[in-house]
Chains A and B, each alone.
Chain A
Amino acid sequence: DQQVKQNSPSLSVQEGRISILNCDYTNSMFDYFLWYKKYPAEGPTFLISISSIKDKNEDGRFTVFLNKSAKHLSLHIVPSQPGDSAVYFCAASREIQGAQKLVFGQGTRLTINP
């Protein structure tokens, strides 16, 4: 039962253009969503998050959009840079007994071409 899905295993984007990574979820009880970036042999690095009471959050080149009715979120990176090449995971959580247990998607490998 995959509650969080990233349907694109890979994405290739030209340097300087916009990268759009997508994520769908099925559980309407999720109340917080996060994006992580991961390089090989390293742990995930937190990028940006959004609460379910918002529909947009922006931090520098990164913007996350949440469409609750469609149970869909996306991460926009603009402009894309070569250092953005990595695997991106979206994650969703809801608080249970004080815990924010994260449910991850399968990841999307983003490649930025010079």
Chain B
Amino acid sequence: NAGVMQNPRHLVRRRGQEARLRCSPMKGHSHVYWYRQLPEEGLKFMVYLQKENIIDESGMPKERFSAEFPKEGPSILRIQQVVRGDSAAYFCASSLVHEQFFGPGTRLTVL
């Protein structure tokens, strides 16, 4: 009974490159959430998706960031033209109802 999986665990990009973060929810979970944690801060909501639908993206920056959860395959968080301020830990969570279960996170470092 695998938990939420995220890959890669660590990602290093130079400014201007693209970052792709993947998340596979727990088996049977159809709700996927993405959160970002900046250093010394709590987690901040970015986007909520169900299969093939973005339900709430109110926490996502308007430019350069996008997310998808296709019918087949993992959910993808994509950051285009990364900047140093994008360096953070990005966590994915999945849920059935209330309790959200988190993956180990992807630590993005932008050089």
Contact = CB atoms under 8 A, between A and B. Distances in A.
A9 to B, nearest CB: 9
Interface string B39-83: 001111100101000011001000000000000000000000000
A106 interface: yes
B105 interface: yes
A100 to B, nearest CB: 6
A98 B51 CA distance: 13
A44 B44 CA distance: 13
Given A43-B103, A46-B101, A93-B98, A107 B42 contact: yes
Contact of A102 (B45, B55, B103, B105): B45
B56 A96 contact: yes
Contacts of A93: 98
B17 interface: no
A4 B43 CA distance: 11
Interface string A31-58: 0101010000111111001000000000
Contact of A44 (B95, B97, B102): B102
Interface in A70-111: 89, 91, 93, 96-107
A44 B4 CA distance: 11
A105 B42 contact: yes
Interface residues of B, number: 28
30 contacts: A4-B42, A32-B98, A34-B98, A34-B100, A36-B102, A41-B104, A41-B105, A42-B104, A42-B105, A43-B6, A43-B91, A43-B103, A44-B43, A46-B99, A46-B102, A99-B31, A99-B56, A100-B31, A100-B98, A101-B56, A101-B59, A102-B43, A102-B45, A102-B93, A104-B35, A104-B42, A104-B43, A104-B44, A105-B42, A106-B41
Interface of A: 4, 6, 32, 34, 36, 41-46, 49, 89, 91, 93, 96-107
Interface of B: 4, 6, 31, 33, 35, 41-45, 48, 50, 55-56, 59, 91, 93, 95, 97-105, 107
